[in-house]
Amino acid sequence: MMLQVLHKILAVIIALVILFSTLSFTVEKHVCMGEVTDISYFTESDSCGMTTEDCDLDDTLESNVKKENCCDNIVDLIPGNQNEQQALKSLEIDDVQFVLVFNYAYLGLFKVKEQPIAFNFYPPPIVDKDIHVLYQTFLI
Exposed / middle / buried, residue 29 (Cβ in 10 Å: 0-12, 13-18, 19+): middle
pTM more than 0.85? no
* Residue 132 backbone zone (phi > 0: left; psi -120 to 50: alpha; other: beta): alpha
132 has a pLDDT exceeding 50: yes
C-alpha span between 84 and 95 (Å, rounded): 16
The predicted-structure confidence for 76-109, as pLDDT tens digits, reads as follows 887 777 666 565 566 788 888 998 999 999 888 8
- Maximal C-alpha separation, the chain: 131
C-alpha span between 129 and 74 (Å, rounded): 101
Domain regions of the chain by residue span = 2-108
The predicted-structure confidence for 4-22, as pLDDT tens digits, reads as follows 899 999 999 999 988 877 7
C-alpha span between 120 and 139 (Å, rounded): 28
Check: CB of residue 73 under 8 Å from CB of residue 45: yes
Give residue 56's pLDDT: 56
